Amino acid sequence: MLRFFKRPLVVTADINLNLVALTGLGLLTRLWQLCYPRAVVFDEVYYGQYISFYMKRMFFLDDSGPPFGHMLLALGGYLGGFDGNFLWNRIGAEYSSNVPVWSLRLLPALAGALSVPMSYQIVLELHFSHCTAMGAALLMLIENSLITQSRLMLLESLLIFFNLLAVLSYLKFFNSQKHSPFSPHWWLWLMLTGVSCSCAIGIKYMGIFTYLLVLSIAAVHAWNLIGDQTLSNICVFGHVIARAVALLVIPAFLYLLFFYVHLMLLYRSGPHDQIMSSAFQASLEGGLARITQGQPLEVAFGSQVTLRNVFGKPLPCWLHSHKNTYPMIYENGRGSSHQQQVTCYPFKDINNWWIIKDPGRHQLVVNNPPRPVRHGDIIQLVHGMTTRLLNTHDVAAPLSPHSQEVSCYIDYNISMPAQNLWKLDIVNRESSQDTWKTILSEVRFVHVNTSAVLKLSGAHLPDWGFRQLEVVGEKSRGPHESMAWNVEEHRYGTSQEQKERELELHSPTQVDISKNLSFMARFSEVQWKMLTLKNEDSEHKYSSTPLEWVTLDTNIAYWLHPRTSAQIHLLGNIVIWVSASLATVAYTLLFFWYLLRRRRSICDLPEDAWSHWVLAGALGTGGWALNYLPFFLMERTLFLYHYLPALTFQILLLPIVLQHVSDHLCRSQLQRNVFSALVVAWYSSACHVSNMLRPLTYGDTSLSPGELQALRWKDSWDILIRKY
Amino acid sequence: MLYASGRFLAARAATTLHAPPRARGPALRGKRRELQIPGHLETPSYDSLTGLRTRSSAPPARRVVLRKGRMPPAIGSSHAGSELRLRRGRCAPQASRAGGRDKVPQVAARSLKRPAWSSWRFETAGWWATLAVVTLLSFATRFHRLDQPAHICWDETHFGKMGSYYINRTFFFDVHPPLGKMLIGLAGYLTGYDGTFLFQKPGDSYEHHNYMGMRGFCAFLGSWLIPFAYLTVLDLSKSFPAALLTAALLTFDTGCLTLSQYILLDPILMFFIMAAMLSMVKYNSCANRPFSAPWWFWLSLTGINLAGALGVKFVGLFIILQVGLNTISDLWYLFGDLSLSLVTVGKHLTARILCLIVLPLVLYMTIFAVHVMILNKSGPGDGFFSSAFQARLSGNSLHNASVPEHLAYGSVITVKNLRMAIGYLHSHRHLYPEGIGALQQQVTTYLHKDYNNLWIIKKHNSNTDPLDPSFPVEFVRHGDIIRLEHKETTRNLHSHYHEAPLTRKHLQVTGYGINGTGDSNDFWRIEVVNRKFGNRIKVLRSRIRFIHLVTGCVLGSSGKILPKWGWEQLEVTCTPYLKETANSIWNIEEHINPKLPNISLDVLQPSFSEILLESHMVMIWGNNGLKPKDNEFTSKPWHWPINYQGLHFSGANDTDFRVYLLGNPVVWWLNLVSIALYLLSGSTIAIALQRGVQLPAELEGLTRVLLRGGGQLLLGWMLHYFPFFLMGRILYFHHYFPAMLFSTMLTGVLWDTLLRLCAWGLASSPLGSRIHVMGILSLLLATAYSFYLFHPLAYGMIGPLAQEPESPMAGLRWLESWDF
């Protein structure tokens, strides 16, 4: 026991003061007055809603990205004790006292602050000097757009953080490859690469670009490893498998995990329920679950059901009919059958109820025991309120003349016989003997006489059809989700008489059974909806095109003080933006120059300087290009902040190019000194610009109109000037 | 990618094999296990094509023999030889290219052992005979029953009509470049079609009109695909069986057959794509004799075909990309060859720039020049183009136009959006439907000329008739506040705080008021872009904006198509965002004012480069506009390689004459399997080579064929297939066919090589010698038999649908989704 005291307690600390200083400065710039402004700033209005949903555990669907970023923001709210009670409806609205602004904004700010020392580390790991690394970090530190973006409840700074972490850990891993493969250190960095890649993807789909960058660099390195004949086959195999697990399996697994946590957290029904399938809605507490709880599972002859279209586009809706008939002659002169309209109606309504009837029998009640309907059975569908039968025939549909009209049959005695037999086709059956299940089964109704399939055409009927959606019979043009229907509400009918039955239809369903969806089914549905949900492409006052980003021809006004002219803008440090772009161009030109000369066996750079130069460029220009160029192909509304991840890669490259110029292109010491002086002058001008734009970055000082006008360096910048 | 790495590998392998003496020559050949594969390298032509002449180990006498092959005695042969010696002399690691070329299939050398004259002649004859048979069969299948059905099938309605437009010289608009339609028109013209048939809708009978010329022309081009594919594969793999297999797969594919038999752009497009591929491959194999006549010939032919492919459809860009990649890697190897002086490399570079960039560009522009020269009459496409463009067309109101130059109050005008393909400001006697803004008259933009495009420009505050002769003429000036009255309905152009029908953030624009009396929401400030206040407004030349006085928004068109209630015209909105885009800038096109003198305006004639630019903008715009709707079944790119669903070319019911575009499932599924097998075998070999595995010399040649030749074909397939996944426009099954050609060629190369590998592996057993022949034969027979089964799809059938037992296609509906 006492022996413990005999030895001195020694702690050797190896502290890089550069790092400490950078971290301190980063924290200072990002955390300073974090609670200001105490009002909703720009996209906080959007992310704030989701934070509230997390706090209230209500389900929502955001098609902009996976849930990890939202969850991180919500974590801040959770730690700050936010109850979710705030109406996020307007930019500029004052936060009420229950909103813990500081803790909500803390995580993005921390991520932004830590990006500064991380860029220092990255440049070091690329084997460039400490001075260069400091340069990169200092540029990150004073870049106004990064500061603005990390001080608010927004996701970009988190995304950038994980992007940089992925790159850094891959570099650490790669540098330990030579000396200590398969050491704990090696494993740690390798795993961390995969983890941070998937975190980046989990925050925004944009993270995929950095993931691709890391993957392709890793692939090239692995390919060289395969060619290394000093290693045994087993060893190479181990290397490849380790990389595959860390960079492919772990990200996929984590991605699923984010959704798992997301769906675990959000177990209550919420505002976006309607978009989801009935089965999904039934798995949420409240909402549809309240209605469907205790419904009988198997649909039987005599069941009363509502039928929801599975595709649900343009609107989720239920098969519907009402007393009104199709107009005799349409506007364009075509005729109709003048029978009762069948439509798809986006609201719950008594007229959405249908009864499943056995064509061979007359009764509309369920036998005891119930006789379940199976795949392939021939059925008739009786409209509950009018007791007419669902029918289709060789008459052109009102708006889709290539398809058949669907009606509820009225016998006018004009040699137009009823064709009301439908064959049940369960789309997601497991065997041909499957029974038709409430909510779970997706079924198609195939018309027996014409083999047309009941389908939602997507068109809105004109006024005579009350602007409900058109339902048609279409001859098979390949399966499509708009042809599939599922039973949502369901009960076993017991009333023999029509009057009783109408009363019965009005009363809510009650019986007992419930079935939950598996996680994978829920995940794939959420994922699919996220990818296919079409946002109306909205124009925004501050939207911009990718071409405007490189030269910083655009800005975004984030917030304006309600009384003074203090305002926050997303506006970059133009010196840094322009010189970073120039550095990228310079790198590219130099790279191709060296490459061509090497091809002719003229080596300007020593071998390892060349390989460092190539790797730095692959990260810098590759990261920039991958994070930037794909936006030219995107058809959605784009904003300046989409450029920030690309910008960080450019900033990393900038000091590297400068060091290269000084090391390899300056011939004499004199030139080198002059060049250093120029760099210092350039950096101080960047600091100066940064300082001038500071009021717009923090929004803490109110400038006079004249001063604001003076800051408007480009005509395209939209700086708000109050007219008094 | 695979292609590039394949080349790299091959080069690597060649250098590693370079040093040991066993690669040197006949000394070691005796030791090798002989590959007894009939049909493989028995063709000397193959040797002459691959540049065996550069083998310094080949005795001179043999060279002479070789020179009598197909290639003319090249001027540069001695030159090339000397160059080669130089290469060998110096840089070992840099010699990759030379080594690679030099060592072209080891196995090949064997045929050199028997330079017997008679067999040589015999084989040349055989070579030509096979080619002739392949070509004949291709023509026979394509021209068989070409005249049936004698009615319009599918897109013939478009392309036939466009051919007629060329014959009638009326201007029209299409989303594709003009070459294909021009050729169709030419074919029709030469074969006596007079351009009078209307081509209204599919199913219309041709009656007495001569349509066979146009179909025949397309079938003629479509028939060349097979000999081209045959020659390409022969050149890439040096193997008759591979080439034969490819030719058979393509000949017996019902899809290719159907697509070649009608008046469509696809046979023309595929013809140029395949011709470009063939000439590229040919020119690659002349690489050892640069600047010789055949080298120049194939290089410039590549360029010409590229221009042709791009001139038919923009899909031609993919083959351009492929040739571009090939050229870059080619130049890269030349550049790395230190035995070549920089001047020589520069010559290489210049030659390629000339033949592959300048020549195609010139040709492409010539096509457009011819296009605009031929179409000099006003026609249905006018409205898509700017006012200046239309002034060229005779019959158009702007042709030799003489109009009053400055806009005055009381003028009747049409207002055209400056953005391409948006059209004229339009209104008509229909209201916006209920629930969509205010229940007022619709205002849209419309692409065609119509009385409803006419507006009267009036002072905002007086409703007196400015045309009354007692009033003096008053010109409209920049910054004036005006009212635009719709001439037909006498309603004013109006906007108010209601959201626009489609673009929710914009304001609705309507027609409002009676007989020109409305309210203050009808007032607009007219502004000329980049002008000072007080200037007059010029017809046609002033670019103007209309700013709504009350709300401050700008009149614009969003370019979105309104639903049925709006007659699928384009939405007009008032946008609160004041950014200057072409959507919100207009010009005055027609101008009628009896009080003003007409002045002839011919300043407008656009230059050719402007015409070119504008046509392309309109085409791109048109292509982007072809968007699929929800709830509609659309063909997805992943459907295509699995032959998931075909296209009805003609008829759908059991009484119709039905033609159904569907690939021969045997061929297509074989292609699918082959791609998977190729990826598997290719990556296995690549990894083995990267691990430094020493392959036996016989395998060396086979793997090179697989990696290099196969890699090129795989690249072609990927380039012609994957970009479709990124496209937002509506897609059809037939878009896959160029990719399918590449995939079929890959199948030919792959199976031949795999069977040879099997034969080599089983060489000791009696099966080994026959497995190759048997394999190829059985594949050939299977394809032929499947064609026999499925040929009614292409040649047409009448009778019950396939689900009925008495149908001609009974039992052949292997997938639920095929509906024939």
- Name the pLDDT band for A511 (thresholds 50, 70, 90): very low
Please determine, for residue B32, whether its predicted confidence score (pLDDT) is greater than 60: no
Query: Residue B39: its pLDDT value, please?
Result: 40
Cβ of B690 under 8 Å from any chain A Cβ?
yes
Q: Which of B33-47, B66-80, B708-722 has the highest mean pLDDT?
A: B708-722
Record: contact B505-A314, CB cut-off 8 A: no
Query: Residue A455: helix, strand or coil by DSSP?
Result: strand
Query: Residue B569: its pLDDT value, please?
Result: 86
Q: How far is A342 from chain B (nearest CA, A)?
A: 18
For the segment B315-341, what is each residue's pLDDT rounded down to a tens digit?
999 999 999 999 999 999 999 999 999
Record: contact A458-B630, CB cut-off 8 A: yes
Question: What integer is the mean pLDDT of B243-252?
Answer: 94
Of B681, B110, B82, which Cα lies nearest the Cα of B340?
B82
Q: How far is CA A445 from CA A311, A486, A492, in A?
A: 15, 11, 20
Up-side HSE of residue B231: CA atoms within 13 Å toward CB?
21
Cβ of B341 under 8 Å from any chain A Cβ?
no
Structure-block tokens of residue B263: 């008046």
The dihedral sign for the CA sequence B464, B470, B472, B475: positive
Record: contact B692-A460, CB cut-off 8 A: no
Record: contact A456-B435, CB cut-off 8 A: no
* Cβ-based contacts of A599 with chain B (< 8 Å): 332, 335-336
The domains located in chain B, with CATH, are 137-369+660-798 (no CATH), 402-600 (2.80.10.50)
Query: Residue B358: helix, strand or coil by DSSP?
Result: helix
pTM higher than 0.90: no
Closest residue, chain A, to B565 (C-alpha): A462
Closest residue, chain A, to B339 (C-alpha): A600
* Cβ-based contacts of B506 with chain A (< 8 Å): 539
Question: What integer is the mean pLDDT of A484-508?
Answer: 75
Alpha helices per DSSP H over B691-736: 697-704, 710-721, 723-726
Q: Containing H/E element for B470?
A: none
Please determine, for residue B629, whether its predicted confidence score (pLDDT) is greater than 80: no
Of B335, B575, B631, the CB nearest to A313: B631
> Which phi and psi angles does A29 have, rounded to 5°?
-70, -35
- Residue found by looking up tokens 């500061």 in the block: A147
Helix B316-336, helix A574-599: angle, nearest 10: 60
- Name the pLDDT band for A723 (thresholds 50, 70, 90): low
Give the least confident one: A210-214, A444-448, A464-468, B673-677: A464-468
Please determine, for residue B53, whether its predicted confidence score (pLDDT) is greater than 70: no
Record: contact B332-A599, CB cut-off 8 A: yes
Of A229, A539, A633, the CB nearest to B505: A539
Average pLDDT, chain B: 80
* Cβ-based contacts of A477 with chain B (< 8 Å): 633, 819
Please determine, for residue B779, whether its predicted confidence score (pLDDT) is greater than 90: yes
Cβ of B468 under 8 Å from any chain A Cβ?
no
Query: Residue B20: its pLDDT value, please?
Result: 38
> B446 forms bridges with which residues in the sheet?
B424
Query: Residue B361: its pLDDT value, please?
Result: 95
DSSP readout, B298-330?
A: HHHHHHHHHHHHHHH-TTHHHHHHHHHHHHHHH
Cβ of B722 under 8 Å from any chain A Cβ?
no
Q: How far is B635 from chain A (nearest CA, A)?
A: 10
Q: How far is A488 from chain B (nearest CA, A)?
A: 21
Q: How many residues does chain A have?
A: 724
Count of pairs with CB atoms under 8 A, one residue in A, one in B: 66
Query: Residue A510: its pLDDT value, please?
Result: 45
Record: contact B577-A476, CB cut-off 8 A: no
Question: What integer is the mean pLDDT of B91-97?
Answer: 36
Q: How many Å apart are CA B94 and CA B99, to the nearest integer?
A: 9
Distance of CA B167 to the CA centre of its chain: 24
For the segment B210-229, what is each residue's pLDDT rounded down to a tens digit?
888 999 999 999 999 999 99
Q: How many Å apart are CA A233 and CA B690, to the nearest integer?
A: 12
Question: Is A112 in contact with A30 (CB distance < 8 Å)?
Answer: yes
Record: contact A480-B631, CB cut-off 8 A: yes
* Cβ-based contacts of A221 with chain B (< 8 Å): none
Query: Residue B602: its pLDDT value, please?
Result: 61
Q: How far is A222 from chain B (nearest CA, A)?
A: 11
In a mutational test of the B interface, the residue from A220, A226, A534 whose CB has the highest number of chain B CBs within 10 Å is: A226
For the segment A133-181, what is each residue's pLDDT rounded down to a tens digit?
999 999 999 999 999 999 999 999 999 999 999 999 999 999 998 888 8
Please determine, for residue B94, whether its predicted confidence score (pLDDT) is greater than 70: no
Query: Residue B310: its pLDDT value, please?
Result: 94
Query: Residue B116: its pLDDT value, please?
Result: 59
- Residue found by looking up tokens 């024939």 in the block: B820
* Cβ-based contacts of B630 with chain A (< 8 Å): 313-314, 458
Angle A624-A629-A631 from CA coordinates, rounded to 5°? 120
Query: Residue A237: its pLDDT value, please?
Result: 93
Q: What's the first-to-final CA gap in chain A, in angstroms?
A: 79
Please determine, for residue A107, whether its predicted confidence score (pLDDT) is greater than 50: yes
Please determine, for residue B10, whether its predicted confidence score (pLDDT) is greater than 70: no
Question: What integer is the mean pLDDT of A683-699?
Answer: 93
Of A226, A456, A479, the CB nearest to B631: A456
Structure-block tokens of residue B121: 């002649």
Query: Residue A505: its pLDDT value, please?
Result: 66
The dihedral sign for the CA sequence A506, A508, A510, A514: positive
For the segment B157-205, what is each residue's pLDDT rounded down to a tens digit?
889 889 999 998 888 888 899 999 999 999 999 998 888 888 888 888 8
Query: Residue B815: its pLDDT value, please?
Result: 83
Pairing of strands A469-475, A485-492: unpaired
Query: Residue B449: its pLDDT value, please?
Result: 80
Give the least confident one: A162-166, A198-202, A471-475, A606-610: A471-475
For the segment A14-73, what is each residue's pLDDT rounded down to a tens digit?
888 889 999 999 999 999 889 888 999 988 988 999 999 999 898 888 878 899 999 999
Q: Which of A238-252, B470-484, B521-535, B648-662 has the highest mean pLDDT?
A: A238-252
Query: Residue B64: its pLDDT value, please?
Result: 34
For the segment B224-240, what is each residue's pLDDT rounded down to a tens digit?
999 999 999 999 998 89
Query: Residue B300: its pLDDT value, please?
Result: 94
Of B342, B575, B631, the CB nearest to A458: B631
- Put simply, the chain B residues between 298 and 327 with a CB less than 8 A from any chain A CB are none
Cβ of B124 under 8 Å from any chain A Cβ?
no
Cβ of B429 under 8 Å from any chain A Cβ?
no
Peptide bond into B149 cis (omega under 30): yes
DSSP structure class, residue A541: T
Query: Residue B564: its pLDDT value, please?
Result: 77
Query: Residue B677: its pLDDT value, please?
Result: 95
Of B434, B577, B632, the CB nearest to A539: B577
Of A311, A478, A633, the CB nearest to B645: A478
Distance of CA B645 to the CA centre of its chain: 22
Query: Residue B77: its pLDDT value, please?
Result: 36
Query: Residue B23: its pLDDT value, please?
Result: 36
Q: Which residue has the higher pLDDT, A510 or A456?
A: A456
In a mutational test of the A interface, the residue from B91, B554, B565, B631 whose CB has the highest number of chain A CBs within 10 Å is: B631
Question: Is A440 in contact with A316 (CB distance < 8 Å)?
Answer: no
Give the least confident one: A172-186, A565-579, B588-602: B588-602
Question: Is B175 in contact with B151 (CB distance < 8 Å)?
Answer: no
A524 CB-near residues (< 8 Å, 6+ apart): none
Structure-block tokens of residue B247: 């030719």
Of B398, B388, B522, B396, which Cα lies nearest the Cα of B457?
B522
Kindly report each contact of residues B525-534 with a partner whose C-beta sits within 8 Å and lies 24 or more positions away, as own/partner: B525/B479, B525/B480, B525/B481, B525/B482, B525/B549, B526/B476, B526/B478, B526/B479, B526/B480, B526/B481, B526/B482, B527/B478, B527/B479, B528/B478, B529/B580, B529/B585, B531/B478, B532/B478, B533/B477, B533/B478, B533/B479, B534/B477, B534/B478, B534/B479
Record: contact B633-A480, CB cut-off 8 A: yes
Record: contact A600-B332, CB cut-off 8 A: no
Cβ of B31 under 8 Å from any chain A Cβ?
no
Question: What integer is the mean pLDDT of A286-307?
Answer: 79
Peptide bond into A462 cis (omega under 30): no
Record: contact B435-A226, CB cut-off 8 A: no
Query: Residue A506: its pLDDT value, please?
Result: 62
Average pLDDT, chain A: 87
- Name the pLDDT band for A535 (thresholds 50, 70, 90): low
Query: Residue B227: helix, strand or coil by DSSP?
Result: helix
pLDDT > 90 fraction of chain B, expressed in percent and rounded: 32
